[in-house]
């Protein structure tokens, strides 16, 4: 295992409510219907406030949840979030209104789930044990497929209520992975321990050497797709999974955000992975190649010809 990779484990009731809030703002269907019902009205109000105040919800959520790992006071949390979202001059006139809307979400969550703190504490420790057991081999497997300094030196794993029955998101700007606390079932075709590895493996991909030639709005998709076959190859080496087209397809459908053109993205990802395994270019070149495949029509055939003719990885 990369000796510099240190994982900090956290659980937070605030993060629980903000995770569910983010999913509802994204119009994601929650498997926990009680949670969806409890937060539906306050999240709709928050959405209205964000729209009225010209605050982009996606950018707001990109900061709110990861910041909640270390900022406990909600007013301070909202102030920092708004400042990072739109600058202090624009943030301060909006603070009171947005803070009130966020507090309505938090209060609704706490009123509906008064035992949330106790349940969270019980969900973190099994994950810590599982990562202690499986993490070293999986990290080594990912590094073997990529390059030695692939992982961040330190990461935070924020364990939250399984609002979707299993989900997660990487926040590279904060070196933080948000993971729903479902059991780490290693018998599944898509083991949750591999989902955690997949999230942690994305945290360094915002470094300029990987990202500077990829448009920022496409980077999360490129990074998420690229790491799926890499992580399952590491899982295969650790006898946790297979790494075949069927498994990769299942992971793309289950792990990537809704709205992605799954069939088209999957075909290009498989083609890219086959090229990568043969040529093993520098990871920065591989990322750029996948981005071009996803962005350009007909690029799959072009990449295949390049391999056949023995040219450099495009």
| Residue-wise pLDDT tens digits, 63-105 | 999 999 999 899 999 999 999 999 999 999 999 999 999 999 9
Task: Give the chain's domain count.
Answer: 2
- In this structure, the answer to whether residues 281 and 132 fall within a common structural domain is yes
- In this structure, the answer to whether residues 215 and 167 fall within a common structural domain is yes
Residue 242 phi, psi (nearest 5): -95, 165
- In this structure, the answer to whether residues 273 and 180 fall within a common structural domain is yes
- In this structure, the answer to whether residues 66 and 213 fall within a common structural domain is no
- In this structure, the answer to whether residues 140 and 246 fall within a common structural domain is yes
- Looking at residue 304, what is its pLDDT? 35
Cβ neighbours for 285, distance < 8 A, ≥ 6 positions apart: 313
Compare 81 and 1 and report the one with higher pLDDT: 81
Terminal C-alpha separation, the chain: 31
d(CA 302, CA 305): 5
- In this structure, the answer to whether residues 181 and 35 fall within a common structural domain is no
Residue 36, burial from CB neighbour count under 10 angstroms (0-12, 13-18, 19+): middle
Judge whether 19 and 161 are in contact, CB under 8 Å: yes
Using the predicted structure, report yes or no on whether residue 163 has a pLDDT greater than 50: yes
Q: Measuring CA to CA, which residue among 217, 242, 299, 214 is closest to residue 265?
A: 299
CA distances from 112 to 20, 34, 35, 39, 276 (A): 13, 8, 8, 9, 48
Sorting pLDDT into bands at 50, 70 and 90, what band is 135? very high
Pairing of strands 176-180, 154-160: parallel
Using the predicted structure, report yes or no on whether residue 310 has a pLDDT greater than 60: no
d(CA 101, CA 66): 18
Find where tokens 């946790």 sit: 240
- In this structure, the answer to whether residues 127 and 105 fall within a common structural domain is no
Mean pLDDT across 114-128: 79
- In this structure, the answer to whether residues 102 and 135 fall within a common structural domain is no
- In this structure, the answer to whether residues 127 and 110 fall within a common structural domain is no
Quick: pLDDT tens for 46-68: 999 999 999 999 999 999 999 99
Residue 27 covered by a domain: yes
Tokens of 233: 């190859």
Domain residues for the domain of 39 are 12-114
């Amino acid at each position: 295992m990369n000796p510099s990779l240190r994982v900090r484990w956290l659980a937070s009731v605030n993060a629980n409510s903000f995770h569910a809030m983010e999913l509802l703002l994204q119009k994601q269907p929650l498997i926990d219907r009680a949670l969806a019902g409890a937060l539906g009205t306050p999240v709709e109000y928050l959405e209205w406030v964000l729209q009225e105040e010209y605050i982009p919800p996606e950018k707001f959520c990109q900061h709110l949840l990861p910041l909640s790992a270390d900022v406990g006071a909600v007013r301070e949390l909202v102030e920092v979030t708004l400042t990072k979202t739109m600058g202090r001059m624009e943030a301060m006139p909006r603070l009171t209104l947005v803070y009130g809307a966020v507090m309505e979400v938090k209060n609704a969550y706490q009123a509906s789930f008064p035992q949330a703190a106790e349940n969270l504490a019980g969900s973190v420790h099994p994950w810590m044990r599982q990562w202690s057991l499986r993490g070293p081999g999986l990290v080594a497997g990912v590094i073997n497929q990529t390059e030695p300094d692939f992982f961040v030196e330190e990461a935070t794993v924020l364990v939250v209520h399984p609002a979707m029955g299993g989900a997660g998101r990487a926040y590279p700007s904060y070196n933080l992975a948000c993971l729903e606390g479902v059991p780490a079932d290693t018998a599944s075709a898509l083991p949750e321990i591999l989902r955690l590895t997949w999230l942690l493996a994305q945290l360094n991909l915002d470094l300029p050497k990987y990202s500077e030639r990829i448009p920022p709005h496409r980077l999360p998709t490129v990074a998420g797709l690229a790491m799926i076959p890499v992580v399952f190859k590491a899982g295969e080496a650790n006898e946790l999974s297979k790494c075949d087209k069927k498994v990769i397809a299942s992971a793309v459908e289950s792990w990537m955000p809704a709205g992605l053109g799954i069939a088209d993205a999957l075909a290009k990802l498989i083609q890219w992975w086959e090229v990568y395994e043969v040529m093993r270019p520098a990871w920065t070149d591989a990322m750029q190649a996948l981005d071009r495949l996803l962005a350009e029509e007909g690029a799959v055939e072009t990449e295949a010809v390049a391999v056949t003719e023995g040219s450099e990885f495009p």
